[in-house]
Structure 1
Amino acid sequence: MNFLAWMIIASEIGFWIVIILGLVTRYIFKMNKLGLVFLALTPVIDLILLITTSIDLYRGATASNIHGIAAVYIGVSIAFGKGMIQWADERFQYYITKQGPKPAKRYGLEYAKHYLIGWGKHVIAYFIGAGLLAWMIYFINDPSRTEALSGILKVWSIILGIDFLISISNFIWPTKAKGKQVHSNDQ
């Protein structure tokens, strides 16, 4: 595994470490400002990964799937980062500090709407990541060195389409709570 692959792994680990540090500092040690500083470090991790990827390409590396995954990671992190922090915050409050309300499980129309909003975030992540991929392709300006990036862009486009179909299917076939039966009006 090359250096950039390890940087992506380190970025993901670093993302969750600063979130956990932020939540522990905020709720256990009651240091809200320091907790917010830790939580605010998540975009810095993305910036470090972006710089590392750019330097690697600038030095003449042939763009690989790892470079493409770095762009995808950055897009997803920016688009979903706030929601992931909120998700972690709710669970930390409930399961660790026993102070917050139990995180709600969504079903039916509520779940479908939530998933559709998630798909909207996926679109934002796609535009950010695809923009980075397009920038790398343009910057390198050598199709033989950017073939992997074009491939990732194509696969991600297909995944985005599949995610949209899943999103719409949630409105057609809504999820139901386990153990609940559907009652018909045919009586």
Structure 2
Amino acid sequence: MDFILDNKWAFLIVAEVIFWVSTLSFLIVRYWFNLKTLSIAFFVLFIVNDLWIATMGYFDYMRTGEFSAYQIIILIVIAYAFLYGKSDFQKLDHFIQRKVAKWRGLPEPTLTNIKPLYGTEHAKQERRNFYGHLFIFSAVQVLFFFMFGLSDAVSSIQLDTLFEDWYDQKETDLFYKNDTANNVTRIWALILAIDFVFSMSYSIFPKKEKQLTRSA
């Protein structure tokens, strides 16, 4: 990990390249080659790459003890993914579908434009998205439990020091008998917490529809 952190900017650039390659590969394989099952592999690569970016930011902070421009950039990337990633991906998806149809001489596909949601409907959708994220996180934790079992440290957990024990050390024994599973869990838990804040914020501050101004 030291080598990666010594060259953290280069690895961050590589991760961004992988982001675009995996995204475009997913769409091209799915629509040009019509290999929908294979395209899932690129989607998984996209998710793993996002976790990798978060991992680099976390371990760099643990190494330096400072919240630097590096962490700020990574937080911006994660925040963008939660706030605008889905809608921008949908736009790119529609663009690729139209281009592929044009290149292959096929009729332009009929694409359903999803009506933007506002207010309570938008808040409900954001909560549903978070619940889906929480379900996947929980399912992976169950998988880790059966694969590795709980560590001895779980029996001595103290709630008042849980956060410190979990995040203030480069290596942690919480919660499984496997270092990789523990690191994936605590980094994913941070991402889940950020998702929770963004998703639930719309329940407190509903998204308002922009009012179109009419010229006189």
TM-score norm. by structure 1 comes to 0.52
Whole-Å separation in 1 of the counterparts to 2:209 and 2:111: 27
Deviations 1:2-29 (A, max 9, x none): 8444444433332221111111111212
2:129 counterpart of 1:89: no
Q: Hey, what's the Cα distance between the residues in 2 that align with 1:51 and 1:70? A: 10
Residue deviations 1:74-109, cap 9 Å, x none?
A: 2432554444433322211113324422675x9xxx
Unaligned stretches of 5+ residues in structure 1 = 125-134, 142-156, 183-187
1:113 maps to 2:106: no
> Contact (CA 8 Å) 1:94, 1:101: kept in 2 or not?
no
Partner of 2:208: 168
How far is the alpha carbon of 1:139 from its aligned partner? 4.5
Distance of aligned partners of 1:11 and 1:30 in 2 relative to their CA distance in 1, 3 Å threshold: same
Residues 53 and 61 of structure 1: is their aligned pair in 2 closer, same or farther, counting only changes over 3 Å? same
Match of 2:34 in 1: 30
Aligned to 1:65: 69
**How far apart, CA to CA, are the structure 2 residues paired with 1:56 and 1:43?**
20
Among all aligned residue pairs of Structure 1 and Structure 2, give the percentage whose two residues are the same amino acid. 19
8 Å CA contact 1:4, 1:52 repeated in 2:
yes
2:29–2:38 contact (8 Å) kept in structure 1: yes
1:70 offset after TM fit, Å?
Answer: 0.9
Give SS of 1:33's match. helix
Q: Is the 8 A contact 2:23 2:42 kept in 1?
A: yes
Segments of structure 2 that go 5 or more residues without pairing to the other structure are 1-5, 103-107, 131-162, 170-197
CA contact (8 A) 1:90 1:103 kept: no
Task: Answer yes or no: is the 8 Å Cα contact 2:57–2:70 preserved in 1.
Answer: no
C-alpha RMSD of the superposition:
4.5
- Cα 1:12–1:49 change in 2 (3 A) is same
Residue by residue over 1:53-80, the C-alpha shift from the partner in whole angstroms, topping out at 9 and shown as x without a partner, is 2222222352202212212322432554
